[in-house]
Structure 1
Amino acid sequence: MKLWLFRLIAISLPVLFLLLLEYSLRLMVPAAPLPLFKPYPANPAYLVTEAQIVQRYFPKGASVPRVTLEPSFVLKDKPANGIRLVVQGGSTAAGYPYGMGAALAGMLEQRLRRTFPERPVEVINTALSAVNSYTLLDFADEIIALKPDAVLIYAGHNEYLGLLGVGSTYLAANSPWATRWLLRLRQLRSVQLLEQGYQQLLPAPTKVENSRTFMAQVARDKNIALDSATFKAGITQFQHNMQHLLAHYRAAGIPVYISTIVSNLADQPPFVSPALTTTQQQQLHQLQIPTSQNTNDASKTAPQQVLQVLTDEANATGHALLHYELGQWYRQQGQAERAKQHFVQAREQDLLRFRAPQAINEQIKGLAEQQAAFLVDSEAAFIANSPHGLVGKSLMLEHVHPNVQGYFLLADSFYRALYQQQAFAAWPNPVPAEIAWQERPLTPAEEHAGYLRILQLTADYPFTVEPQPVTFPTPTSLPEQLAQDHVQGKLDWLSMQSQMAQYYHQQRNGDMLLKTLLIIADALPHDGKANLQAAQILLQAGRQGEAKHYLDRALRTPTPPAQAKVLLQRWK
């Protein structure tokens, strides 16, 4: 008995010492963990997302990627008849490169407010660039605390080369289990101080490193072959984390709508692949020679023989670039299905995995069924709306980010899924896609700014070997000039939008003026004047239900405008 007591004391003493150390450090070095939602100083009625939330995953003083969470506002007290959704995901869910207006949260909130004009609608964005399933899981408890009516998820491209990805420079541990525990341990003050001490011993990053895009900084294990150990680790990581995430929401009674993900197949060559041999180049060139130029029957069969040789080589060696070139040849011949098969293989065999493999979508479908989540098949929607069913530049900007039409299609896929399930009970005023497209919450200046950001992104790795200087095209209109000034840091977002509103007022373009004023009001819930102005112009347009939302928000501000009180009295 005494021996067991001695062993218990021997084990307990280190634990007690660590607990004492932790609580002592908390008293001496008070530092609350960075919250996902924090009080909004400009309007106590709201919480706002933490823009620098990515710092949660790095020791103090460490080099942190330039990744920020765009502010999203949520009422501290959920209205009794309110509709509240939360969006999770990476840069596509966040609307990159256009911003909140193209994000799932922005496009859905605008359309759902039109659908439910008598109910407060909040679609809260927690998506940000470079994050993957670890971050989604890490946010879950704070999202559940908001009591959302549903969570919407679009994620999967960053499991390999995102933060904590298996092939990333920002890798935390070699297994999902170990990484999740490390994230929990980082909440301890003792662990935080140890990491900070270690960080002081590391050399500071150079200015050149800090100036590169995230894609240029993140790739560590650049070559990840299909079915390799690292490839399988990425799939396992996604499966385990998402299984925990969906089960967590299911236990909390929160419906989840999870989407398949989309990538550019037809117009994005593989990032890393063996080069074509001279023989392969010659054979591909031979395929381009029109059959009509052949002079005898024997030579007419030659292209088919060459095609078979190239196809066999591509399949046998897993040659990504050869698959891509064969896909282009079949595309030119009007054989879309065969072209797609080669394009898919080109993506699957691409050694630099900035595009998720098909296995991720297979996991998403399986997890949705297993965890009773609602599947949103955005990939099928993109295929159905692409020429010949080949997803390419008609809907995509580069490898994974949609253009404005693509972003609208993504939001429309979620909207249709919500409508099909009759989420939030009866839908009094479903908004047709044609109207929603015309009213999309993006100004031309924001759309042009997105185009310029893509020029910057594609001027660095992996689109080019070395970073290239970026020359913007000469602006041909005021929106383009404002967009360029904004991207170059000469003009902040609010000033750009305010000048756009003045421009539309001068042009007497009522529709665009209304859109711009609503965008400004949504960005400034603490500004009573901006929200009153939005309510007034909506009333002029005969949209009383939506006007009430902005009028209520104007009255929630610390100093409500007198005119808002007058309008409310008339309303009653």
Structure 2
Amino acid sequence: MTVGRQWLFRIIALLIPVIALLLLEGGLRLAGFGGKLALFIDNPAHDDYLLPRPDILNRYFPEEVVPRVTMEANFFLRDKPDNGLRIFVQGGSTAAGFPYGLGASLAGMLEGRLRQSYPQRQVEVVNTAMSAVNSYLLADLADEIVSQQPDAVLIYAGHNEYLGIFGVGSHFQFGGPWITRAYLNLYQIAIVDALQSLYYTLLPITQTNESGRTFMAQVASDTVIPFRSPRYQQGLQQFETNMRKTLSVYQEAGVPVFISTIASNVRDQPPLGSTDTSDYRADVAFKKGQEALRRGNLTMASQHLRRARDYDTLRFRAPSDINTIIRKLAQLPGVTLVDAEARLRQRSEDGIIGNTLMLEHLHPNVPGYFLLADTFYQALHSSRLATGTYISTAEAWRHRPLLAAEEYAGYAQIQALKADFPFSATPVPIKLAPPEDQEQQLGKQYFEQAISWRKMVASLRELYLQQGNTPLAIKATMLLADALPHDPLTNEQAADMLFKHQRHAEALHYYRRAERAGSITSHLTSRMGLLEKRLR
């Protein structure tokens, strides 16, 4: 055999497995495996708008085992205007406004306030936060956020590194940080996607999607992660590594980042897990903290209660070390620290965060959510990014984008959460306070999924109009218009009501959106011209 033929056979031998892999890849793609679901998708009702994909977790998991968590729909323009101010929010359930929804989220609380600060700009605060996600998803989504030309990114995250999706103690993880990172770099390959599907087929993880159980009951695999243990350190390391990767993406794109410390309920939430495997029992520390509170020794109380949180072996709350990492990350170029934990401590009884601002272990109540958003607003206003008209805290509180029905639905959602693991060893019946009025009754119907959110808010709007409650009728109309940016009638109705009550900056925003959606009424054009002159 000639030397040339020998090399030919060698090349063919080398190409055979490559060709086989390519054929397998192609066949699997035809079968529906592989590919990358985009974070941002078209709004089917109006092609001027995009929205973050509500079912983005389908990117990572087979349909049979995908966590039952979605991102709430919110819209932004496909083409960023020249005068646009576009801000994206990343994080977990607190950043997303759980249990109240988008109105309590950072995006919901900030967008209207920033519109008032910048009446001549097209302000968009886009929520990409959702329950149970952690730093892995923040890093994976950063490039796609950059592609939408953000002027800033706001981050409130850190609670889900242990028992969130891909957390070190979660059912929804692949066996370690390096395997998870490798998967997140390769999941769009059909062969990897098929292997992942096989992995979940062979494991009994589908049992975690038990109907009727809360996600907290589904997610926890490792319920004992002692303080300073290898698993504990692994959670810290993955957080810092992933956040550095996330911040580097924004730094390279020249996008400023505002990252916040995170807060939890230490005063009134007993440890969710406390075992002798730790060198110091969390429940003992909590009792000592409560005793110190009764004696009025606030310094000692704070030390013990924080230690109780840090030594809690069931890690649904982030330990203090996460905030230490966040403060270190905030020293990187282009990153600004937003110290929300300090702000909430400042507004808490005895300077210790508890039930006055928290619903349970870590989700704020409405005043708590407002303080969180207000802390970000102050940081934005103090930065070079945002130097518009300052909107006072009192005015922003009066116009907070939440209705009483939504607050009742949120209260009911928390009762459902606390009726299951880890607050109760087994599910118990939910006990709701009877609705006190028609608003709460609508909130109860929404919680029970008897009506949609849109139906609830439309019914509230009619109720407020009948009662002559103009401020709440305006708020309900604005909420509907924000949920339907492609609806010219609803947006023009919101604009007309705001114009009548001399809320000119907000009125101009809704008139512009009504025009974009197709409204051609004569008074819209004349009022837009009038408002643009007044607000110059």
What is the TM-score of this pair, normalised by structure 1?
0.88
- Judged with a 3 Å threshold, the aligned counterparts in structure 2 of structure 1 residues 329 and 187 are, in CA distance, closer, same or farther, namely same
Partners of 2:28 and 2:194 within 8 A in 1: no
How many Å apart are 1:322 and its aligned residue?
0.9
- Identify the range of structure 1 (431-440 vs 200-209) with the bigger mean alpha-carbon deviation: 200-209
Aligned residue in 1 for 2:532: none
Choose the corresponding residue for 2:146, options 144, 147, 158. Answer: 144
- Judged with a 3 Å threshold, the aligned counterparts in structure 2 of structure 1 residues 407 and 202 are, in CA distance, closer, same or farther, namely same
Aligned residue in 2 for 1:52: 55
Partners of 2:471 and 2:410 in 1: how far apart?
A: 22
How many Å apart are 1:476 and its aligned residue?
1.2
Partners of 2:285 and 2:298 in 1: how far apart?
A: 14
Partners of 1:247 and 1:371 within 8 A in 2: no
Partners of 1:207 and 1:358 in 2: how far apart?
A: 29
Aligned residue in 2 for 1:311: none
1:431-454 deviations in whole A, cap 9, x for unaligned? 100110111000011111111110
- Identify the range of structure 1 (495-504 vs 26-35) with the bigger mean alpha-carbon deviation: 26-35
SS of alignment partner, residue 104 of structure 2: coil
SS of alignment partner, residue 87 of structure 1: strand
Partners of 2:512 and 2:528 within 8 A in 1: no
How many Å apart are 1:201 and its aligned residue?
5.5
Partners of 1:84 and 1:361 in 2: how far apart?
A: 27
Aligned residue in 2 for 1:530: 490
Partners of 1:471 and 1:494 in 2: how far apart?
A: 26
Aligned residue in 2 for 1:168: 170
Aligned residue in 2 for 1:227: 228
Aligned residue in 2 for 1:210: 211
Partners of 1:265 and 1:343 within 8 A in 2: yes
SS of alignment partner, residue 485 of structure 1: helix
Aligned residue in 2 for 1:306: none
- Judged with a 3 Å threshold, the aligned counterparts in structure 2 of structure 1 residues 206 and 250 are, in CA distance, closer, same or farther, namely closer
How many Å apart are 1:180 and its aligned residue?
1.7
Partners of 2:164 and 2:390 in 1: how far apart?
A: 37
The 5-angstrom pairing of residues 415-494 of structure 1 reads 415-424=377-386, 426-427=387-388, 429-494=389-454
Partners of 1:121 and 1:339 in 2: how far apart?
A: 44
Partners of 2:208 and 2:271 in 1: how far apart?
A: 29
Partners of 1:199 and 1:179 in 2: how far apart?
A: 14
Letter in 2 for 1:511: P
- Judged with a 3 Å threshold, the aligned counterparts in structure 2 of structure 1 residues 167 and 524 are, in CA distance, closer, same or farther, namely same
- Tell whether 2:34 aligns with 1:34: no
Letter in 1 for 2:257: V
SS of alignment partner, residue 476 of structure 2: helix
Partners of 2:67 and 2:209 within 8 A in 1: no
How many Å apart are 1:33 and its aligned residue?
2.4
Choose the corresponding residue for 1:381, options 343, 351, 364. Answer: 343
The 5-angstrom pairing of residues 86-485 of structure 1 reads 86-175=88-177, 177-197=178-198, 199=200, 205=206, 209-274=210-275, 317-424=279-386, 426-427=387-388, 429-485=389-445
How many Å apart are 1:370 and its aligned residue?
2.9
Partners of 2:255 and 2:334 within 8 A in 1: no
Partners of 1:118 and 1:546 within 8 A in 2: no
Aligned residue in 2 for 1:21: 24
SS of alignment partner, residue 143 of structure 1: helix
- Tell whether 2:52 aligns with 1:43: no
How many Å apart are 1:15 and its aligned residue?
3.6
Larger Rg: 1
- Judged with a 3 Å threshold, the aligned counterparts in structure 2 of structure 1 residues 264 and 146 are, in CA distance, closer, same or farther, namely same
Partners of 1:43 and 1:520 in 2: how far apart?
A: 16
- Tell whether 2:509 aligns with 1:506: no
Aligned residue in 2 for 1:285: none
- Judged with a 3 Å threshold, the aligned counterparts in structure 2 of structure 1 residues 208 and 354 are, in CA distance, closer, same or farther, namely closer
SS of alignment partner, residue 193 of structure 1: helix
1:291-324 deviations in whole A, cap 9, x for unaligned? xxxxxxxxxxxxxxxxxxxxxxx9x940111110
- Identify the range of structure 1 (156-165 vs 372-381) with the bigger mean alpha-carbon deviation: 372-381
Letter in 2 for 1:106: G
- Tell whether 2:519 aligns with 1:561: yes
SS of alignment partner, residue 79 of structure 1: coil
How many Å apart are 1:528 and its aligned residue?
1.2
Partners of 1:179 and 1:191 in 2: how far apart?
A: 12
Alpha-carbon RMSD across the aligned residues, in angstroms, is: 2.2
Aligned residue in 1 for 2:528: 571
1:203-261 deviations in whole A, cap 9, x for unaligned? 69469822210100111011000111100000000010001100110001100000000
SS of alignment partner, residue 220 of structure 1: coil
Q: How many residues align?
A: 526
Aligned residue in 1 for 2:534: none
Unaligned 5+ residue runs, structure 1? 276-313
SS of alignment partner, residue 369 of structure 1: coil
Partners of 1:259 and 1:375 within 8 A in 2: yes
SS of alignment partner, residue 514 of structure 1: helix
Aligned residue in 2 for 1:67: 69
SS of alignment partner, residue 211 of structure 1: coil
How many Å apart are 1:200 and its aligned residue?
5.1
Partners of 1:261 and 1:378 within 8 A in 2: yes
SS of alignment partner, residue 103 of structure 2: coil
Aligned residue in 2 for 1:290: none
Aligned residue in 2 for 1:310: none
How many Å apart are 1:550 and its aligned residue?
1.0
- Judged with a 3 Å threshold, the aligned counterparts in structure 2 of structure 1 residues 130 and 4 are, in CA distance, closer, same or farther, namely farther
Partners of 1:156 and 1:261 within 8 A in 2: yes
Partners of 1:239 and 1:204 in 2: how far apart?
A: 28
Partners of 1:570 and 1:479 in 2: how far apart?
A: 33
How many Å apart are 1:388 and its aligned residue?
1.0
- Judged with a 3 Å threshold, the aligned counterparts in structure 2 of structure 1 residues 9 and 359 are, in CA distance, closer, same or farther, namely farther
1:415-465 deviations in whole A, cap 9, x for unaligned? 0001111314x31x2110011011100001111111111000000000011
How many Å apart are 1:474 and its aligned residue?
1.4
Partners of 2:265 and 2:220 in 1: how far apart?
A: 20
Partners of 1:358 and 1:201 in 2: how far apart?
A: 37
Partners of 2:511 and 2:196 in 1: how far apart?
A: 48
